[in-house]
Chain A
Amino acid sequence: MPTTYTNPRFPFRRPPELDGKGGSARVVIVGAGLVGLTLALDLARHGIPSIVLDDDDTVSFGSRAICFAKRSLEIYDRLGLGQRLLDKGITWKVGKVFFGSSLAYEFDLLPEQGHRMPAFVNLQQYYLEEWLVDACTETGVVDLRWLSRVVSIEPRAECVRLGVETPEGTYVLEAEWVAACDGARSTVRKSLGLSFVGNVFRDRFLIADVVLKTEVPFPNERWFWFDPPFHPGQSVLLHKQPDGVWRIDFQLGWEADPDEEKRPERVVPRIRTMLGKDVAFDLEWVSVYTFRCRRLERFRHGRIFFVGDSAHQVSPFGARGGNGGIQDADNLAWKLAAVLKQIAPEGLLDSYDAERIPAADLNILHSTRATDFITPKTAAARAYRDAVLLLAREHAFARRMVNSGRLSLPHTYANSPLSTPDEEAWVGGPAPGAPCIDAPLTDGFLLNRLGNEPVLLHFGGTAPPALPGVRVVTVPADGVVATRYAASVGTAYLIRPDQHVAARFQAPTMDRLIVALERLWARGNVEAEREAA
């Protein structure tokens, strides 16, 4: 059915293991999807080679992740793919929510200027995966193995033994570290017998992608309807994608028959009722989904990490699935690289759980609330929901309760073991654990100056003290950048390799910076040692 995109086919290449060579790897990534490829590329940018195993021979098929949030775009910009996303994708920041046929609520996700990346870019997942495959290949250190299915997994003290099945035979790989990026139906998770529990929402949604053959004047915005005249009693979500493709989500209700609803004879009239008789279109993709929210109890199991949907699953309202998985990869890559390069002890890897489990919980909380708002479970819930929508036309307080999905925001790692709590009083600026805020500089944007190694972001002219393994970036102590960081002359932020804030000081001293840097790398309890000395 898809007419705008043809999936590439990647050839199987006979690995050395089938001829009695190789057999070990420092990092094995299971699953060459969006998250697995992102992790492989991030590791490669840190100089860490990996083997990526995938049971298929192509990128994702059909309508999957489409909304890439600002933080994801900033991560891809760091990895070298940001401009490609901007060039091909549909940039948007305004969302409108309608009740019946009137506007209930409108939001602007990025009202201020001076950021390299917009609030959101819509792009079909397969494009991004294809670019990731190209970028991974170009690094020369990512060994992408298609048509290679993991059939067994055996955790040992010193390694993980993986059984791999290929068209030309099976072999064993011993991996120092394994990242399970094999999605919601993760075979790694199943073979370890880990429970994956949570809520199933008793509702069904039809995902229809259409290619419009008639020119339509429509803004680059996210539109959501509660109870529209063209689909009474249910909700509808509309997103614009590249190639003239429009993604429409129709709420169907729990009683709907998924097989029946997928038939073009059912789908086409639904879309025609929505778009009107004068708009000609082709069906690009149709599927029917039920949503669930759940997560693993822990994401790190010894030498095995669960990353993305294999670790947690959310409903799509809020675009928190793909974006959450990308942030997982961003969080794990620099830590794994630092341990493999012996910059940091293995204990650093425990912070993956400490940081990404609260992030997953927040994503689950928001997507559960949104799904409960969209699909009220009781008559009372429906009455409250409808009352909110009615009041929202006139009252700002009610508008803030309208929930068609709270859209993905970068997670702040509050209380992270890697953060140094503020000792001085701060008004504004990113707190320890928060992602850095972009700002315009005379020669580009701040985030592009930060890279993927620890940085001391220093405001003003005086040369700061040199720290081992930390690059200094000096910016002006006035203007937009200083305002966004609540900075004056001498202020310094210690930035992690994933561009989150580790510590910040209005009056930095060598002692305090060293303690903060040791904490960033999880190198023991430095303060206690100092006190003891």
Chain B
Amino acid sequence: MLDTAPKLADPDAVFVTLVRAHHDLSPEESRRLDAALVLLLANHVGDAVVLEQAIELARRAVRAPTGATEDQGTPP
């Protein structure tokens, strides 16, 4: 079962680490780096079911329609 509970002690630092890994790469290298990272982490997880759950949630996030929540952020 994919665990989505917050686990990182310093999420901002992890975000910076991920971004920094790309700093001197071409767009093509960047995509390959992300792919390589996913493969390494998928192997670390070692569970195809968990991977499929993660893929589903990731696809849902990027394909979700905007403006779906109750609070729409309408300015005064």
Asked if A523 lies at the interface with its beta carbon under 8 angstroms from chain B, I say no
A-B pairs with the 10 shortest C-beta distances? A98-B73, A380-B22, A216-B76, A100-B66, A218-B76, A102-B69, A390-B61, A103-B71, A397-B6, A101-B67
Residues of chain B lying within 8 A (CB to CB) of residue A274: 75
Whether A96 contacts B71 in the complex (CB less than 8 A), given A212-B76, A380-B25, A396-B6, comes out as yes
Asked if A116 lies at the interface with its beta carbon under 8 angstroms from chain B, I say no
Residues of chain A lying within 8 A (CB to CB) of residue B62: 387, 390
Offer 7 A-B interface pairs, CB within 8 angstroms, sorted by A. Answer: A99-B66, A101-B67, A102-B71, A390-B64, A396-B5, A403-B12, A406-B12
Residues of chain B lying within 8 A (CB to CB) of residue A516: none
Q: Is the CB of A102 within 8 A of B5?
A: no
18 additional A-B pairs beyond A390-B62, A396-B4, beta carbons within 8 Å, are A96-B73, A98-B72, A103-B72, A218-B76, A238-B75, A246-B76, A279-B76, A369-B15, A372-B16, A377-B23, A379-B27, A380-B19, A384-B19, A393-B61, A394-B60, A397-B5, A397-B7, A401-B11
Q: Is the CB of A384 within 8 A of B76?
A: no
Binds B, one of A157-165, A222-230, A289-297, A445-453: A222-230
Asked if B57 lies at the interface with its beta carbon under 8 angstroms from chain A, I say yes
Q: Is the CB of A369 within 8 A of B16?
A: yes
Q: Which parts of B1-54 form the interface with A (CB within 8 Å)?
A: 4-8, 11-12, 14-16, 18-19, 22-23, 25, 27, 30, 33-34
Chain A residues with CB under 8 Å of chain B are 96, 98-103, 212, 216-218, 223, 225, 228, 230, 238, 246, 274-276, 279, 366, 369, 372-373, 376-381, 384, 387-388, 390-391, 393-397, 400-401, 403, 406
Bound CA–CA A388/B62 (angstroms): 10
Q: Please pick, from B12, B64, B67, the residue contacting A369 in the complex, using a CB distance under 8 A.
A: B12
CB A397 to nearest CB in B, in angstroms, measures 4
Q: Is the CB of B66 within 8 A of A102?
A: yes
Q: Please pick, from B22, B57, B60, B61, the residue contacting A381 in the complex, using a CB distance under 8 A.
A: B22
Specify the main secondary structure of chain B where it touches its partner. loop
Residue of A nearest to B14 (CB): A401
Whether A387 contacts B8 in the complex (CB less than 8 A), given A230-B75, A380-B30, comes out as no
CB A354 to nearest CB in B, in angstroms, measures 24
Residues of chain A lying within 8 A (CB to CB) of residue B6: 396-397, 400
Residues of chain A lying within 8 A (CB to CB) of residue B18: 384
Residues of chain B lying within 8 A (CB to CB) of residue A212: 76
Q: Please pick, from A378, A387, A396, the residue contacting B22 in the complex, using a CB distance under 8 A.
A: A378
Residues of chain A lying within 8 A (CB to CB) of residue B27: 379
CB A377 to nearest CB in B, in angstroms, measures 8
Q: Residues of B within 8 Å of A, CB-based: how many?
A: 36
Residue of A nearest to B25 (CB): A380
Residues of chain B lying within 8 A (CB to CB) of residue A403: 12, 15
Bound CA–CA A212/B6 (angstroms): 40
CB B25 to nearest CB in A, in angstroms, measures 7
Whether A387 contacts B72 in the complex (CB less than 8 A), given A101-B67, A378-B19, A379-B30, comes out as no
Whether A102 contacts B72 in the complex (CB less than 8 A), given A378-B22, A381-B22, A400-B6, comes out as yes
Residue of B nearest to A216 (CB): B76
Q: Please pick, from A102, A230, A379, A401, the residue contacting B12 in the complex, using a CB distance under 8 A.
A: A401
CB B54 to nearest CB in A, in angstroms, measures 11
Residues of chain B lying within 8 A (CB to CB) of residue A406: 12
Whether A223 contacts B5 in the complex (CB less than 8 A), given A387-B61, A401-B12, comes out as no
Of B7, B8, B72, the most chain A CB neighbours within 10 A belong to B72
Of A212, A279, A381, A403, the most chain B CB neighbours within 10 A belong to A381
Residues of chain A lying within 8 A (CB to CB) of residue B11: 397, 400-401
Bound CA–CA A436/B14 (angstroms): 30
CB A267 to nearest CB in B, in angstroms, measures 15
CB A496 to nearest CB in B, in angstroms, measures 28
Q: Is the CB of B15 within 8 A of A373?
A: yes
CB B17 to nearest CB in A, in angstroms, measures 11
CB A259 to nearest CB in B, in angstroms, measures 26
Residues of chain A lying within 8 A (CB to CB) of residue B22: 378, 380-381
Q: Is the CB of A372 within 8 A of B19?
A: yes
Of A366, A378, A387, A395, the most chain B CB neighbours within 10 A belong to A378
CB B72 to nearest CB in A, in angstroms, measures 5
Whether A102 contacts B15 in the complex (CB less than 8 A), given A379-B30, A395-B4, comes out as no
Bound CA–CA A246/B76 (angstroms): 10
Whether A393 contacts B69 in the complex (CB less than 8 A), given A378-B19, A381-B22, A388-B15, comes out as yes
CB A425 to nearest CB in B, in angstroms, measures 22
Q: Is the CB of A223 within 8 A of B12?
A: no
Whether A100 contacts B67 in the complex (CB less than 8 A), given A275-B75, A397-B6, comes out as yes
Residue of B nearest to A98 (CB): B73
Q: Is the CB of A103 within 8 A of B25?
A: no
Q: Is the CB of A397 within 8 A of B8?
A: yes
Bound CA–CA A532/B16 (angstroms): 50
Bound CA–CA A396/B6 (angstroms): 6
Q: Is the CB of B15 within 8 A of A393?
A: no
CB B38 to nearest CB in A, in angstroms, measures 12
Residues of chain B lying within 8 A (CB to CB) of residue A216: 76
Residue of A nearest to B12 (CB): A369
Q: Please pick, from B23, B67, B74, the residue contacting A378 in the complex, using a CB distance under 8 A.
A: B23
Residues of chain B lying within 8 A (CB to CB) of residue A96: 71, 73
Residues of chain A lying within 8 A (CB to CB) of residue B5: 396-397
Bound CA–CA A228/B33 (angstroms): 30
Q: Is the CB of A102 within 8 A of B68?
A: yes
Bound CA–CA A98/B68 (angstroms): 12
CB B22 to nearest CB in A, in angstroms, measures 4
